[in-house]
């Protein structure tokens, strides 16, 4: 906790984020008092890590704070808030997630569509998602978000439609992008590695 406070005082937000990202179950009780402050902090990296921590450790007492981040000005915070809502609410988060499918940010829409597919396995969500990630000029960050979400929440190897989508991304993604290597490795060794 002292290291977190020192990093906060020094405005070393990457250190704050690293501490939260590396937190273990045993650290959660110590971190709980600072979560409300960090979830609404002025630096987006602190907000992302705090929201992710809430979802990862199922800290339901912070649900309303996480829901407040669905309107955050930073798209990364919004995306992690969507995932945290799903972590906390499961399928009950579907209305919140579907609402984000209309967000003006493509990154938020991609995250929401992937989560909608996770919840429902409705092919229409996957079709909409594929229209974005299979575009030749699709931002690699959108593809990484999809890879991360599906790998986290689904057994991708038992979803041939997802494997085919990732193979299609691999065929079109420039080799210089790290996502090509990551997808190739996941397809070769299996997901959740």
Q: Are 63 and 51 in contact (CB under 8 A)?
A: no
Q: Tens digit of pLDDT for each residue in 113-158?
A: 999 999 999 999 999 999 999 998 899 899 999 999 999 999 998 9
Residue 76 has pLDDT above 90, yes or no: yes
Mean pLDDT of all residues in 50-58: 97
Mean pLDDT of all residues in 41-55: 94
- Domain ranges in the chain are 1-100, 103-193
CA distance 79 to 87: 12
Residue 17 has pLDDT above 80, yes or no: no
pLDDT at position 107, please? Answer: 97
Residue with tokens 């002025």, as numbered in its chain: 42
Mean pLDDT of all residues in 79-83: 98
CA distance 69 to 48: 9
Between 184 and 49, the higher pLDDT residue: 49
Tell me the DSSP string of the chain. -HHHHHHHHTT-HHHHHHHHHT--GGGHHHHGGGHHHHHT-SSHHHHHHHHHHHHHTT-GGGHHHHHHGGG-SSHHHHHHHHHHHHHHHGGGGHHHHHHHTT-S-HHHHHHHHHHHHHHH--HHHHHHHHHHHTSTT--HHHHHHHHHHHHHHS-GGG-HHHHHHHHHHHHHS-TTSHHHHHHHHHHHH-S--
Mean pLDDT of all residues in 57-76: 97
Percentage of the chain surpassing pLDDT 90?
Answer: 70
pLDDT at position 22, please? Answer: 87
pLDDT at position 180, please? Answer: 83
């Amino acid at each position: 906790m002292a290291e977190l406070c020192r990093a906060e005082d020094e405005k070393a937000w990457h250190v704050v984020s690293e501490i939260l990202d590396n937190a273990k179950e045993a650290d959660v009780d110590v971190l709980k008092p600072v979560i409300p402050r960090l979830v609404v902090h002025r630096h987006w990296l602190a907000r992302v890590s705090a929201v992710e921590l809430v979802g990862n450790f199922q800290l339901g007492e912070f649900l309303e704070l996480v829901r407040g981040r669905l309107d955050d000005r930073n798209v990364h915070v919004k995306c992690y808030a969507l995932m945290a809502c799903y972590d906390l609410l499961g399928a009950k988060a579907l209305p919140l997630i579907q609402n984000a499918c209309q967000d003006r940010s493509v990154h938020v829409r991609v995250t929401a569509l992937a989560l909608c597919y996770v919840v429902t396995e409705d092919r229409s969500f996957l079709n909409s998602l594929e229209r974005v990630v299979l575009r030749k000029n699709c931002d690699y960050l959108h593809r990484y978000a999809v890879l991360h979400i599906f790998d986290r929440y689904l057994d991708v190897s038992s979803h041939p439609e997802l494997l085919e989508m990732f193979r299609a991304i691999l065929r079109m993604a420039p080799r210089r992008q790290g996502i090509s290597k990551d997808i190739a490795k996941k397809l070769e060794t299996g997901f959740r590695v």
